[in-house]
Amino acid sequence: MQLFMLLKEFIDDIRKHKTRAFLTTIAITWGTLAIILLMSFGSGLSFRMREGMLNAGDRIIRIYSGQTTKKWQGLPVGRRILLTEEDAHILQQSIPMIQSVNPGIGRFIRLRNGDRTASTYMEGVYPVFEEMRRTYHARGGRFLNEKDLVERKRVVFLGSVVANELFGKNAPIGETVFIDGLPFKIIGVMPKKMQTAMNQGPDDRRAIIPFSTFKSIYGNRYLNELIVKPAQPLESPKVISEVRRILARKYQFDPSDEHAIRIWDFIEAEKIGARVFKGINIFLAVIGAMTLVIAGVGVANIMYVVVKERTQEIGIKRAIGAKRRHIIFQFIFESLLISLVGGGLGLLIASAIIQLMWSIPAQDGAMQFLGRPLMSDSVVLVAISLLTLIGLLAGLFPARKAASIDPVEALRYE
């Protein structure tokens, strides 16, 4: 009953001061809209950058040949350390913490389909490459398998960009393409994907064939890289230490010589990126919160005005027995209601804007990162928490002033 009366008084006050109520609500709405959109765009950017990194290497460690820079057991500085396919098998068997290893070799090649040609980078890999680099197939087809590797089949998995250049929009699964003059059967096509890191161009613009086939055609003895995927990402420092120790023992170099073999840890890069974007999200949240706080100051000022206008009313209530907590609760209730109504409108508008952004087809360039805001539960929770806090604070101080009014003086107020 008391709550109903408070709500009725609130509605009556809005009817008397429509413009004031409208502007106050708009201020809260704008503040809520600002914080939700800023945090949503920050979350979307963080997610897209992380996905772009994982699309280039899904929690993997890439190992490259190098050159010694430290003397070791009488051996000179400047020796070349060249990795071979055998190293992949040694690491796989020697380090239980490793889930899989892929030896990689590659070169630039020329493809031809009739009078259409394309140039790209081609890699020879093991089937485990699919999960390591997220080279999932689209429009039917498949990735390389163990049979292709063992039998040295002339099969190729194409990136969608190269496939479109050679065959147009039609799915070329089962078609024949000539690579450096040799016929290869297309077994699958990789969909276009976003990458924030790449080597020799994006993955969706390359050709992938079995490692054994590549080696038999071009005769490569040394690898371009070794890709290692730890069973547990948190164990990557231990895996890297073991890789250095084992290869140092085989090639006779100082395990602490970081230039003897060069290592790029995607797992550590992902952690660093996560920390950077967490900082960006916090910064954006603070900017949005400041906008909301300014709106809260406006609500507090309005509530002080309301207290002044209702001085006689407060005096009458106190004179007939209303307690201080009843007066305080009345003004906090009204402040919270204004904040939640404005916040609810801001939330609805922000949701509509985010849905509109997602309805626009994905584009290249900056929009592929900024055009996909994410309004997560944490974003909504932060916004609601701030709204509640601001509503309480905006109503608390005017409410305390109202409750401290002397009933006799209030009745004399004009």
191 has a pLDDT exceeding 80: yes
Q: Domain ends where: 211, 236, 259? A: 259
Question: Are residues 214 and 120 both part of a single domain?
Answer: yes
Name every residue whose Cβ is closer than 8 Å to that of residue 90 and which is 6 or more positions away in sequence: 246, 250
Establish if 265 belongs to a structural domain.
no
Q: Is residue 37 part of a domain?
A: yes
Backbone angles phi, psi at 373, to 5 degrees: -65, 150
Residue 300: inside a domain: yes
Place of tokens 């609805």: 348
| Pair 216, 294 in one domain | no
324 domain-assigned: yes
The span from the CA of 160 to the CA of 172, in Å, is: 10
Is there a contact between 233 and 219 (Cβ–Cβ < 8 Å)? no
User: Which of the listed ranges 54-58, 151-155, 191-195, 321-325 does the model predict with the highest average pLDDT?
Assistant: 151-155
Q: Cα–Cα distance between 31 and 295 in angstroms, integer?
A: 6
20: number of Cβ within 10 Å? 14
CA distance 392 to 400: 12
Rounded CA Rg of the chain: 33
Question: What is the pLDDT, as a whole number, of residue 110?
Answer: 95
pLDDT higher at 359 or 11: 359
Percentage of the chain lying above the pLDDT 90 cut: 37
Of 207, 237, 259, the domain-final residue: 259
CA angle 87, 88, 92 (to 5 degrees): 115
Distance of CA 309 to the CA centre of its chain: 51
Helices 311-319 + 266-309 axis angle, to 10: 80
Claim to verify: residue 33 and residue 93 sit in the same structural domain: no
* Cα 370 to the center of its chain, rounded Å: 11
Give the per-residue pLDDT at 1: 46
The mean pLDDT value of the chain amounts to 82
Pairing of strands 155-159, 182-190: parallel
Q: Where are the alpha helices (DSSP H) in 57-144?
A: 85-94, 129-132
Give the SS3 label for residue 225. strand
pLDDT, tens only, 310-366:
666 666 665 666 666 666 667 677 777 777 888 888 889 989 988 888 887 766 666
Same domain assignment for residues 24 and 162: no
Q: How high is the pLDDT of residue 413?
A: 47
Q: Is residue 24 part of a domain?
A: yes
Of the pLDDT bands very low, low, confident and very high (cuts 50, 70, 90), residue 30 is confident
CA angle 206, 188, 98 (to 5 degrees): 75
Is pLDDT at 283 greater than 80 in this prediction?
yes
Enclosing domain of residue 349: 2-54+271-412
d(CA 200, CA 389): 52
Q: Which tops the pLDDT comparison, 131 or 316? A: 131
Report pLDDT for 282: 85
pLDDT tens for 60-102 read 999 999 999 999 888 899 999 999 999 999 999 999 999 999 9
Examine residue 227 and state whether it is found in any structural domain, yes or no.
Answer: yes
Predicted confidence at residue 406, as pLDDT, reads: 60
Is residue 199 pLDDT above 80, yes or no?
Answer: no
Please give the tally of structural domains in the chain: 2
Residue in this structure with the two tokens 């796989």, named with its chain if needed: 92
Are 253 and 156 in the same domain? yes
- Same domain, yes or no, for 403 and 351? yes
pLDDT digits (tens, 9 = 90+) for 379-414: 788 788 877 787 777 767 666 666 666 655 545 545
Is 149 a domain residue?
A: yes
Task: Give the residue from 277, 259, 395 showing the smallest Cα distance to 333.
Answer: 395
Please report, for residues 183, 186, 265, 286, the alpha-carbon distance to residue 112 in angstroms, rounded to integers and kept in the order given.
Answer: 9, 12, 36, 55
* 38, 45, 46, 380 from 280: Cα distances, Å: 10, 10, 9, 18
Residue where a domain terminates, one of 229, 259, 289: 259
Cα distance between residue 119 and residue 110, in whole Å: 4
Are 47 and 85 within one domain?
no
Whether the CB-CB separation of 185 and 245 falls below 8 Å is answered with no
What is residue 297's predicted lDDT score, i.e. its pLDDT? 76
103 and 234 assigned to the same domain: yes
- DSSP designation for 108: E
Kindly state the average pLDDT of the residues 28-37: 84
Pair (105, 167) in one structural domain: yes
* pLDDT confidence band for 229 (50 / 70 / 90): very high
Please check whether residues 124 and 242 belong to one and the same domain: yes
Stronger pLDDT, 336 or 210, i.e. the higher one = 210
User: pLDDT digit string (tens) for 132-170?
Assistant: 888 777 667 899 999 999 999 999 999 888 999 999 877
Q: d(Cα 62, Cα 50) in Å, to the nearest integer? A: 18
Domain assignment present for 62 = no
- Do 332 and 219 belong to one domain? no
Are 79 and 202 in the same domain?
yes
**Does the pLDDT at position 176 exceed 90?**
yes
